[in-house]
Amino acid sequence: MRGMLSPSLMCADMLNLQRELETLDSLSVDYVHLDFMDNKFVPNITLDASLIKAVKPVLKNMKRDIHIMAYAPQQYFERMDIGEGDIVSVHYEACDDLHDVLAEISARGAKAFIAISPDTSVDVIYEYIAEIDGILVMTVYPGFAGQPIVEGSFEKIKAVRELIDKSGRELILEVDGHVSWDLCAKMREYGADLFVAGSSSVYQKGLDLGDAVKKMTELIK
């Protein structure tokens, strides 16, 4: 599977989101990463559900890559207008009834991903392997941009890649957190397919977004 880019909108210029989205969309970027936080599962609030819904009609080429860092994430699906073409990542650690949550995402025609935080073992995925379209490996603790990569992240990526290959299913391995200029190629080598690019790459201060996207696309292809 070719390497795909998903710039993290929470790292963009908050006062010019429409312009940021249109720029990304014109560059034929694969996905835009939309972080939703409930201030309970993680101690932060970022993009809200109505903004995540409002993004949908603006996108001509890009698809939504929605990362829900919230308990009982299914309560937000309607408000976000979850549907065909979306990736929706829900946290293993935040769902009591993960089978039902994954089934609801699929029933809406979206791709269902399990997100696992750094302290969660890869083994938890086995039970859901037949019900998912991908796995979001958090390489930082969820909740904030600009953090350093967590020790052991590469071994985690490798272990998830082995799990996917053993399953025989064409699942997408997404990495999120400190996907930096100097680490993204190694993440690709270890088996990542989809790269959330934030403050340590395309949204690094002072860079031209278009040039940065082109450079990152080269590094992960």
Contacted entry of Zn ion, ligand DX5, none for residue 132, CB cut-off 5 to 8 Å set by kind: none
By CB under 6 A, is residue 147 in contact with ligand DX5?
yes
Nearer to ligand DX5, 15 or 130 (CB): 15
Query: What is the footprint of ligand DX5 within residues 156-185 (CB under 6 A)?
Result: 176-179
Among residues 35, 38, 65, 193, which one is catalytic? 35
The site map against Zn ion for 149-188 (x = CB under 5 A) is ---------------------------x------------
- Which of the listed partners (ligand DX5, Zn ion, none) does 65 bind, with a CB threshold of 5 to 8 Å by partner kind? none
Among 35, 65, 104, 133, binds Zn ion (CB under 5 A): 35
Of 4-12, 51-59, 92-100, 166-174: span binding ligand DX5 (CB under 6 A): 4-12
Q: Pick the catalytic residue from 30, 86, 133, 176.
A: 176
Stretch that binds Zn ion, among 18-26, 34-42, 80-88, 158-166 (CB under 5 A): 34-42
**Which three-class secondary structure string do you get for the chain?**
CCCEEEEEHHHCCHHHHHHHHHHHHHCCCCEEEEEEECCCCCCCCCCCHHHHHHHHHHCCCCEEEEEEECCCHHHHHHHHCCCCCCEEEEEHHHCCCHHHHHHHHHHCCCEEEEEECCCCCHHHHHHHCCCCCEEEEECCCCCCCCCCCCCCHHHHHHHHHHHHHHHCCCCEEEEECCCCCCCHHHHHHCCCCEEEECCCCCCCCCCCHHHHHHHHHHHHC
d(CA 174, CA 177): 10
Contact partner, 143, from ligand DX5, Zn ion, none, Cβ < 5-8 Å per class:
ligand DX5
Which residues make up the interface to ligand DX5 (CB under 6 A)?
8, 10-11, 33, 35, 67, 140, 142-147, 176-179, 196, 198-200
